[in-house]
Amino acid sequence: MAALIELSNISKSYGDLRALDRVSLEVPAGRIVGLVGPNGAGKTTLLRALTGELDYSGAAKVLGYEPRSQRADLMLKTGVIQDISVLPSWMRVSELLTFMEGIHPNFDRIKAEDFLRTTTIPMDKKIKTLSKGMKTQLHLAVTLATDTQLLILDEPTHGLDILFRKQLYSSVLEDYFDDTKSILISTHQIEEVEHILSDVIFINKGKILLYASIEDLGKRFTQLTIPSDQADQLREQLKPISEYGILGRRVFLLENPDQKALVSLGDVQTPSVADIFVALMGGAA
């Protein structure tokens, strides 16, 4: 199946700052991809490049469109939800749905209303009176009702309580995702989305440090917990990419180790994506 996102050597600079540095990647349909990196890593710049919001060097195709020159066509098939509401605050919820009917050829009002009935959002309230969580849910309802192929979530749960966060991701999976679409989630809170991801991208200083499936990460990285008094000997032997201490023991993160040799040394586990992220970010700093 053809990739929904194809980026080749995408670069973007702001003066001396290299916000994106020769980024190349392909995202096929049917994937849920986490875009993870510290503040200033280039996440937002990358999202703005692939939706045609800014100029860049390199080549890009998103849903078959060149983002800059064909942005209007691209955005008819792309949904973007950010941590800051961009909905018109002076409109009532019902007026927003009417407005969407008039401007978006693929908008399904019945689908939006069906979704809103699962929330506590009143149709007669002005958007500016809604809580942040309700605004995010409303934005999601409108986005899901436009039958997009690509959904971009840019820190969508920032500032929301745990209930709203869980509801958001549950709604995305149940009401949007299928094997013809893809979701790109930019987040600082990798722990709360790790269980739904199929792939992860680590970005820092404008460069892609890692792009792999969750399945491949589990095969590539291993966590070994050993007694602290064995750490010096095994550190030289195993050469961990990171380590930390906990309750008198040492935890090594290993890349492509001999799995059979580890069994007799200590407790072997599959590390979380967050553990791998912290280790690679530390090495990149």
Q: pLDDT digits over 229-264, tens only? A: 999 989 999 999 999 998 889 999 999 999 888 988
Q: Kindly report, residue by residue over 22-42, the tens digit of the pLDDT.
A: 999 999 999 999 999 988 899
Query: What's the pTM?
Result: 0.89
Domain boundary (182, 205, 228) is at: 205
Is residue 212 in some structural domain? no
Say which residue the tokens 């095994």 belong to. 234
Q: Is residue 159 scored above 80 in pLDDT?
A: no
Q: Kindly report, residue by residue over 189-240, the tens digit of the pLDDT.
A: 788 889 899 999 999 999 999 999 999 999 999 999 999 999 998 999 999 9
- Domain co-membership, 155 together with 225: no
Structure confidence at residue 168 (pLDDT): 82
Is residue 211 in some structural domain? no
- Domain co-membership, 15 together with 109: yes
- Domain co-membership, 192 together with 245: no
Is residue 210 in some structural domain? no
Say how many domains are in the chain: 2
Structure confidence at residue 212 (pLDDT): 96
Residue 84's domain comprises 3-205
- Domain co-membership, 225 together with 201: no
Tell me the mean pLDDT in the region 141-156: 90
Domain boundary (205, 232, 265) is at: 205
- Domain co-membership, 184 together with 238: no
Structure confidence at residue 284 (pLDDT): 47
- Domain co-membership, 87 together with 133: yes
